[in-house]
Amino acid sequence: MTIRTILVDDEKLATQGLALRLAAHEDVEIIDTCQNGREAIRSIKTNKPDLVFLDIQMPGFDGFSVVQGLMEVEPPLFVFVTAYSDHALKAFETDAVDYLMKPVEESRLADTLDRVRQRLTEKRGIEEVDRLKEVIAEIAPDSVETLTDGGEQVSSNRFEKLINIKDRGQIFRVDVDTIELIEAAGDYMVIKTGDNSLVLRETMKDLERRLDPRRFQRVHRSTIVNLDLVKEVKPHTNGECFLVLQSNAQVKVSRSYRDVVARFVH
């Protein structure tokens, strides 16, 4: 998988330095470089890259203006690169893959590219299934439902490993392996790890798409549990039960979701 990439920065030395670091990653192909926001918008619309490394502070159109200028087209993945940390919150609000500080460290760049590869793999898998469904719909309409089920299995192979959560004026990078419990509160999700609780502004439906369904399952209309962190199942009345998590928190499983518990009983 080749990652077609555009670099955008008004400082030529910064672009050259980033290009040198990216050269160590064989799957990254730099297809263009731009020195301002207007050039970037034209190049992105013309070349349709997979990834854009985007400086924030540039004369004229800044990095955020570039993102806004692409609202009418399908945008690429963005990684913001800047010398100033005070733009981090706004950067993650644009659903950027990451936010890198200049000078870019090689280890941080490698982590960022791993996240890019993960998102692209999931995106391309979904696009391929959609294309196949369109073809099948024309020649064998009755087979579309079967294909949809298979496509969901393929795309479930890769999901988010880190989730960026803006809470209390800070950005927390949460390893999904540490998430025990997720509870819905309107348009907000309360993400609970063993020693912390964070609030994420996102719907449960959208969050479920980002998490591996083989591990994260609903046990109630407004509750998702990490099944890998369940240490005990306690039967209750009326077909209900409680799951005891690693932190000793107990979560009630409603009868509607009792099939989730079946995997623990052999």
The per-residue DSSP string of the chain comes to: --EEEEEE-S-HHHHHHHHHHHTT-TTEEEEEEESSHHHHHHHHHHH--SEEEEES--SSS-HHHHHHTTTTS---EEEEEES-GGGHHHHHHTT-SEEEESSPPHHHHHHHHHHHHHHHHHHHHHHHHHHHHHHHHHH-GGGHHHHHHHHHHHHTT---SEEEEEETTEEEEEEGGGEEEEEEETTEEEEEESS-EEEEES-HHHHHHHS-TTTEEEEETTEEEEGGGEEEEEE-GGG-EEEEETTS-EEEEPGGGGGGGGGG--
Q: Tell whether the model's pLDDT for residue 138 goes beyond 80.
A: no
Q: What is the pLDDT of residues 11-58, one digit of tens each?
A: 999 999 999 999 999 999 999 999 998 999 999 999 999 999 999 888
Residue (of 224, 246, 111) closest to 178 by Cα position: 246
What's the pLDDT tens digit per position in 185-237?
Answer: 766 889 999 888 888 888 788 888 888 888 888 888 888 999 889 888 887 77
User: CA angle 102-104-110, nearest 5°?
Assistant: 155
pLDDT digits (tens, 9 = 90+) for 163-187: 888 877 788 888 999 999 998 876 6
- Whether 239 has a pLDDT exceeding 60, the answer reads yes
Looking at mean pLDDT, say which of 5-9, 77-81, 89-93, 105-109 comes out highest. Answer: 5-9
pLDDT at residue 51, rounded to an integer? 95
- Most confident by average pLDDT, 36-50, 125-139, 140-154: 36-50
When pLDDT is averaged across residues 132-153 and rounded to a whole number, the result is 52
Read off φ and ψ for residue 215, nearest 5 degrees: -115, -40
Q: Residue 253 has what pLDDT?
A: 83
Instruction: Evaluate if pTM is beyond 0.85.
Output: no
What does pLDDT average to over the chain? 80
